[in-house]
């Protein structure tokens, strides 16, 4: 699973872009988000995802929120 950060959300249209590195952003659709409602996502949030091929090129699939490990922050 790759990791990135939500760069931009267009909630009214149900899609967004995940920044993988400074040069690449991957499209994702609300149907690709797993484990949390699309409307609860926010820009700057860390995400894990797979890369798949969509009709217009590479896209993020199986998109999941990466929760910080609270045990590490307590140590």
Instruction: Report the pLDDT value the prediction gives residue 14, as an integer from 0 to 100.
Output: 94
Fold classification of 2-74 (topology level): OB fold (Dihydrolipoamide Acetyltransferase, E2P) (2.40.50)
Which tens digits make up the pLDDT trace of 11-49? 899 999 999 988 899 999 999 999 999 999 999 999 999
* Six token digits for residue 56: 């217009």
What are the structural domain ranges in the chain?
2-74
pTM comes to: 0.83
The pLDDT value recorded for residue 71 is 38
Tokens representing residue 8 in the block: 């931009």
Phi, psi dihedral angles at 34 (to 5 degrees) = -120, 140
Query: What does the alpha-carbon distance between residue 64 and residue 62 come to, in Å, rounded to a whole number?
Result: 6
Sign of the CA dihedral 37, 43, 49, 52? positive
E strands, 1-75, in order: 2-10, 15-21, 24-29, 46-54, 57-65
pLDDT at 18: 97
């Amino acid at each position: 699973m790759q990791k990135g950060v939500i760069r931009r959300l267009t909630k009214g249209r149900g899609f967004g872009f995940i920044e993988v590195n400074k040069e690449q952003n991957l499209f994702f659709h609300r149907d690709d988000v797993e484990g949390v409602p699309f409307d609860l996502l926010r820009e700057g949030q860390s995400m894990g995802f797979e890369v798949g091929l969509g009709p217009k090129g590479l896209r993020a699939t199986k998109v999941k929120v990466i929760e910080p490990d609270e045990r590490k922050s307590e140590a």
